[in-house]
DNA sequence: TATGAATGAGATTTCATTCAT
DNA sequence: TATGAATGAAATCTCATTCAT
């Protein structure tokens, strides 16, 4: 409504409507979880109506699934722009960790969504077959870095890409996902700039240190 | 009803009712989250009735808070039995990490509850004043280990107990909290014995390695 | 509300509420079918609320099932008072036919309900296990009449009770169930007293005639 | 769309669309009844769109009426090919009964449609003025058989064509319309070949027996 | 302390129908 | 003649909570 916008050439607003709903829904699900979210609340914040939500997504759960799918697609497509193969193994590993840290740090919504999906035991993610392939790439990429590093003698430890991925994710995800309870218990705010910088460096060093040191360090 | 009914000493029964409700509620909240849990479902699985839930806990949220409080009390009381001060710093740090790993691995309910509470931005935990003191101890204990290690020359890096705690928690918590999405995406089951052992060793080695190596490793 | 009625001894009104809902629901289902019936409409005509319908019957379909069950229980319990065994075979058969005719003629609601259930391919009746035993009796009773008649030489044709039951039901049911289309097409009203009498006699005579005549009449 | 599109003679397509919609609608109404049928479901199974349904038939009820009209037209046009006048009265009566039996047995859809229309108290049929004339013929035809039979001494009972029609219809219709509840209650399948044959013979014999026997049999 | 019935407010979902093109 | 998007009204159902006893 802020500016007159004539209907683009042909297609009405289907894409726009869908995208609008998705964005609003994402915020609502992130804020209240799947059961806590209200379709009415989503509809109200939308340019369309509640009816349209069902028209496009079939059900609250269908909408949630779409939100989830989009969230995963987003991170993986961003990740794909990293071009890690062009860096030497150490730089590539650092960059991957830093990217993970930065992405989760700057997308607490994404983190919350994953946490919510875990509460539901990944029931919805499991049904999204599109996701799996995309993620195989992420692991393949990390695997390539690790074996290149080993070959070149930069890394000393032979380790599984999935294991390293697990650790990177754990370290980066937890400080976002659990910042509220952590803050409540230890009386600190993990999102403070100074802490964020320190933790980023710490995590990089921890993982890099692990990979570079020999198995019986 | 025709049976003799001696004037039951009141308290015992009340205690049992309360405990019964708490146990059932915990299972329900863990399974479905706060908004997903149903008071009706809890009442049905209880020996008592719905009215009693309100009598004892006032509301669904009151019940949830009580469950949360109990969960934290449990872990901290277990943690207190570790007697880390009697071990040398390296052994103490290992033991603390292993304990954390084992506790979260064997208490996925607890992990889920914390994840749920984070979805609600720790709103309920924040109000539980009993919790904070208890946790100061945990940090004090880790801090003692770290400074002792530094003093004795076993550890090379000066670092904050809260930071190390954050990393230990992140690594141990994530593999339980996110095992569903992780499993769905990478097609693996993190709870398999062989993986659990490997990850436990890996996490210990990672943290210990970080602490023992110098800051410019 | 027409007279003050103090709450009977103990139990509140559960039985009363249930029965009230059932009666109203029956009328609504009979009038509009299962899909055409409105829970709101039922609730409005009830002393209770819509919420109570779900409290007692769980769903619209649950309510419909209960209505169906009661309808079948009613006819069979009425049928059971016929005491056909005390009559000679011919009289017993006549009486059974007349009873069927009269019951369906005076209970068009019941007839409609069965027709509705057939539209749903007996999906709900099939799940009502209570019904089956009750109906075995009806066939056993008719079977007894037929074989007694054969033995005594009053009937000449050996025929299955289920077949005879099918014919009796068909003749009695159809003139009620299809009276609307029949009336519309042939411009007559099957419920007129004079016709009812004639048809009742005709049906009795038709069936009795069939049973008494030899197989190659 | 780049294909050559000759100015299609309009009517043909329109006719086909209409016929397509009618066929799909008939299946849907037969399956779910008038209220249970979904316009969306019909549209989906159609080559055309929902808008066309409204274009051609005005409303869901208009569509239903059209389906009903067509169904009646079908049976009567088939019936007209019987040429009963060329047979002797007994053969003609047998043939009419057998035809009725066979038609309803092989057109359960038609039977269901009539049953559905009766649920709605023939409200839609009543408005279809085309139907009535057509049916006068059916009765006239049966009347001719009955009076010819009486005259020739083959039949002994003077009876109304409408009454006999009622009985034939009742016997043939019921075993199709009520086969679901009947099957559920008596645990049998009325459509089994062996039973169908037996019942066909039985019904013929029952009606013929009635007509041929004297009034005080 | 205990209980079964009851409930109002609001949640999700459905459906016949129409609009803009 | 045709279409895909859109919709208001109303349907079914749910839920935390309380009342009467």
For residues A48-81, b (16+ Cβ closer than 10 Å) or e, as one string? beeebbeebbeebeebbbbbbbebbeebeeebee
pLDDT digits (tens, 9 = 90+) for D145-155: 999 999 999 99
Cα(C89)–Cα(D167) distance, rounded to whole angstroms? 24
D180 neighbourhood in chain C, CB within 8 Å: 117-118, 120-122, 125
Q: Is the CB of D54 under 7 A from strand E?
A: yes
B203 neighbourhood in chain A, CB within 8 Å: 167
Residue C1: the pLDDT is 31
Q: Which residue of B has its CA nearest to A179?
A: B118
Chains that touch A (3 or more CB pairs under 8 A): B
Nearest CB to C185: which of D135, D159, D174? Answer: D135
Closest nucleotide to B41's CA, by C1' atom?
F15
Closest nucleotide to A37's CA, by C1' atom?
E11
Residue B79: the pLDDT is 80
pLDDT confidence of A12, banded at 50, 70, 90? Answer: low
pLDDT confidence of C51, banded at 50, 70, 90? Answer: very high
Interatomic separation, CA of residue B54 and C1' of nucleotide F19, rounded (Å): 14
pLDDT confidence of A215, banded at 50, 70, 90? Answer: confident
CA-closest candidate to residue A144, choices A102, A86, A97: A86
For residues B158-197, b (16+ Cβ closer than 10 Å) or e, as one string? ebebbbbbbbbbbbbbbbbbbbbbbbbbbeeebeeeebee
CB C119 within 8 A of CB D178: no
B187 neighbourhood in chain A, CB within 8 Å: 132
Closest nucleotide to B62's CA, by C1' atom?
F16
Cα(B83)–Cα(B91) distance, rounded to whole angstroms? 11
> Looking at A134-143, C65-74, D106-115, D203-212, which range is the least confident one?
A134-143
Which of B104, B134, B185 has the most A C-beta neighbours within 10 Å, making it the best mutation to test the interface with A? Answer: B185
Q: What is the DSSP letter of A160?
A: -
Nearest CB to C206: which of D135, D199, D206? Answer: D206
Q: Where are the alpha helices (DSSP H) in A81-192?
A: 89-106, 108-119, 123-127, 129-152, 161-177, 179-186
Interatomic separation, CA of residue B37 and C1' of nucleotide F18, rounded (Å): 20
pLDDT confidence of B111, banded at 50, 70, 90? Answer: very high
Interatomic separation, CA of residue B58 and C1' of nucleotide F18, rounded (Å): 12
Interatomic separation, CA of residue C119 and C1' of nucleotide F1, rounded (Å): 36
Cα(D23)–Cα(D73) distance, rounded to whole angstroms? 14
Residue B134: the pLDDT is 66
List CB contacts of A191: < 8 A, sequence separation 6 or more. Answer: A105, A179
pLDDT digits (tens, 9 = 90+) for C96-120: 999 999 999 999 999 999 999 999 9
Which strand E bases fall within 7 angstroms of a protein CB?
1-21
Helices D193-212 & D161-177, crossing angle to 10 degrees? 160
Residue C216: the pLDDT is 57
pLDDT digits (tens, 9 = 90+) for A40-72: 999 999 999 999 999 999 999 999 999 999 999
**Chain A: closest CA distance from residue B18 (Å):** 26
pLDDT at position D94 over 60: yes
Residue D125: the pLDDT is 95
Q: In 3-state terms, what secondary structure has residue D157? A: coil
The residue with greater pLDDT, A1 or A54, is: A54
pLDDT digits (tens, 9 = 90+) for C137-182: 889 999 999 999 999 999 999 999 999 999 999 999 999 999 999 9
> Looking at B109-118, B137-146, D79-88, D201-210, which range is the least confident one?
D79-88
CB pair distance less than 8 Å for D118 and C205: no
Task: Calculate mean pLDDT across residues D125-134.
Answer: 80
Interatomic separation, CA of residue B38 and C1' of nucleotide F13, rounded (Å): 15
Cα(D51)–Cα(A137) distance, rounded to whole angstroms? 46
Task: Calculate mean pLDDT across residues A94-108.
Answer: 97
Cα(D117)–Cα(D38) distance, rounded to whole angstroms? 17
pLDDT at position A35 over 90: yes
Q: In 3-state terms, what secondary structure has residue A187? A: coil
For residues B76-95, b (16+ Cβ closer than 10 Å) or e, as one string? eeebeeeebeebebbebbbb
| pLDDT above 90 as % of chain A | 78
**Chain B: closest CA distance from residue A20 (Å):** 24
Q: Where are the alpha helices (DSSP H) in D3-128?
A: 10-36, 39-45, 50-57, 60-79, 89-106, 108-119, 123-127
Task: Calculate mean pLDDT across residues D123-131.
Answer: 88
> Looking at D25-29, D176-180, D211-215, which range is the least confident one?
D211-215
pTM: 0.88
CB pair distance less than 8 Å for C125 and D181: yes
CB pair distance less than 8 Å for D132 and C212: no
For chain D, give percent helix, strand, coil, nearest 5.
80, 0, 20
Closest nucleotide to A49's CA, by C1' atom?
F7
Q: How do the domains of chain C map onto residue ranges?
A: 9-58, 66-212
Chains that touch C (3 or more CB pairs under 8 A): D
The residue with greater pLDDT, D187 or A31, is: A31
Q: Is the CB of B17 under 7 A from strand E?
A: yes
CB pair distance less than 8 Å for A167 and B169: no
Tokens of D184: 């559920």
Q: Is A112 exposed, middle or buried (0-12, 13-18, 19+ CB in 10 A)?
A: buried
CA-closest candidate to residue D206, choices C92, C97, C163: C163
User: Tokens 């149903």 identify what position?
Assistant: B38
Distance of CA A171 to the CA centre of its chain: 14
Nearest residue by alpha-carbon distance to C1' of E20 = A12
pLDDT digits (tens, 9 = 90+) for A118-132: 999 999 999 998 877
Is the alpha carbon torsion for A122, A125, A127, A130 positive or negative? Answer: negative
CB A57 within 8 A of CB A17: no
Is the alpha carbon torsion for B132, B135, B140, B146 positive or negative? Answer: negative
- How many residues are listed for chain D in this entry? 217
Q: What is the DSSP letter of B7?
A: -
CA-closest candidate to residue C29, choices C101, C137, C110, C113: C113
Helices B161-177 & A193-212, crossing angle to 10 degrees? 70
Task: Calculate mean pLDDT across residues D43-54.
Answer: 92
C169 neighbourhood in chain D, CB within 8 Å: 174, 178, 182
pLDDT digits (tens, 9 = 90+) for A154-185: 999 999 999 999 999 999 999 999 999 999 99
Q: What angle do CA B52, B57, B60 make, to 5 degrees?
A: 95
CA-closest candidate to residue C116, choices C77, C59, C67, C156: C67
What is the homologous superfamily of the domain C9-58 according to CATH?
Homeodomain-like (1.10.10.60)
- How many other CB atoms are found less than 10 A from the CB of residue B41? 16
Q: What is the DSSP letter of C215?
A: T
CA-closest candidate to residue D42, choices D59, D52, D28: D28
Residue B133: the pLDDT is 67
Nearest residue by alpha-carbon distance to C1' of E18 = D51
D66-212: CATH class: mainly alpha
Residue A159 backbone zone (phi > 0: left; psi -120 to 50: alpha; other: beta): beta
Cα(A53)–Cα(A43) distance, rounded to whole angstroms? 7
Residue D217: the pLDDT is 47
Please give the C-alpha separations between residue A143 and each of A91, A159, B124, B184, in angstroms, as whole numbers: 14, 9, 42, 19
B184 neighbourhood in chain A, CB within 8 Å: 122, 125-126, 131-132
Interatomic separation, CA of residue D65 and C1' of nucleotide F5, rounded (Å): 29
CB C175 within 8 A of CB C197: no
Please give the C-alpha separations between residue A193 and each of A175, A189, A190, B29, C124, in angstroms, as whole numbers: 13, 10, 8, 34, 64
Q: What angle do CA A203, A209, A212 make, to 5 degrees?
A: 140
Interatomic separation, CA of residue A51 and C1' of nucleotide F8, rounded (Å): 9
Nearest residue by alpha-carbon distance to C1' of F6 = A52
Please give the C-alpha separations between residue C80 and each of B47, C141, D181, in angstroms, as whole numbers: 43, 9, 20
Which of C137, C146, C186 has the most D C-beta neighbours within 10 Å, making it the best mutation to test the interface with D? Answer: C186
CB C160 within 8 A of CB D186: no
Average pLDDT taken over every residue of chain A: 91
CB B177 within 8 A of CB B111: yes
Q: Is the CB of C55 under 7 A from strand E?
A: yes
Distance of CA A41 to the CA centre of its chain: 25
CB B40 within 8 A of CB B86: no
Whether there are 3 or more C-beta pairs closer than 8 Å between C and D is yes
Residue B9: the pLDDT is 42
Q: Is the CB of A5 under 7 A from strand E?
A: no
> If DSSP states are collapsed to H, E and C, what string results for C56-115?
HHCCHHHHHHHHHHHHHHHHHHHHHHHCHHHCCHHHHHHHHHHHHHHHHHHCHHHHHHHH
Strand E proximity: list residues 40-69 of A with CB under 7 Å.
40, 50-51, 54, 58-61
Q: Is the CB of C46 under 7 A from strand E?
A: no
Strand E proximity: list residues 64-93 of D with CB under 7 Å.
none
Nearest CB to A209: which of B182, B183, B209? Answer: B209
Tokens of C194: 């004079």
Residue A216: the pLDDT is 56
**Chain D: closest CA distance from residue C160 (Å):** 11
Q: Where are the alpha helices (DSSP H) in C7-59?
A: 14-36, 39-44, 50-57
């Amino acid at each position: 409504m802020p500016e007159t916008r004539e209907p683009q050439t042909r297609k009405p607003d289907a894409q726009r409507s869908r995208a609008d709903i998705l964005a609003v829904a994402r915020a609502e699900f992130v804020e209240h979880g799947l059961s806590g979210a209200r379709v009415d609340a989503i509809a109200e914040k939308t340019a369309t109506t509640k009816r349209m939500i069902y028209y496009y997504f079939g059900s609250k759960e269908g909408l949630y699934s779409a939100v989830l799918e989009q969230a995963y697609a987003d991170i993986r497509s961003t990740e794909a722009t990293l071009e890690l193969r062009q860096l030497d193994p150490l730089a590539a590993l650092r960059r991957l960790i830093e990217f993970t840290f930065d992405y989760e740090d700057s997308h607490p919504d994404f983190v919350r969504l994953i946490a919510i999906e875990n509460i539901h035991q990944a029931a919805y993610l499991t049904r999204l077959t599109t996701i799996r392939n995309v993620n195989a790439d992420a692991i393949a990429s990390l695997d390539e870095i690790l074996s290149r590093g080993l070959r070149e003698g930069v890394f000393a430890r032979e380790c599984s890409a999935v294991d390293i991925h697990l650790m990177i994710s754990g370290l980066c995800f937890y400080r976002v996902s659990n910042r509220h309870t952590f803050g409540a218990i230890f009386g600190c705010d993990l999102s403070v700039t100074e802490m964020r910088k320190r933790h980023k460096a710490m995590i990089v060093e921890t993982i890099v240190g692990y990979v570079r040191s020999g198995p019986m360090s």
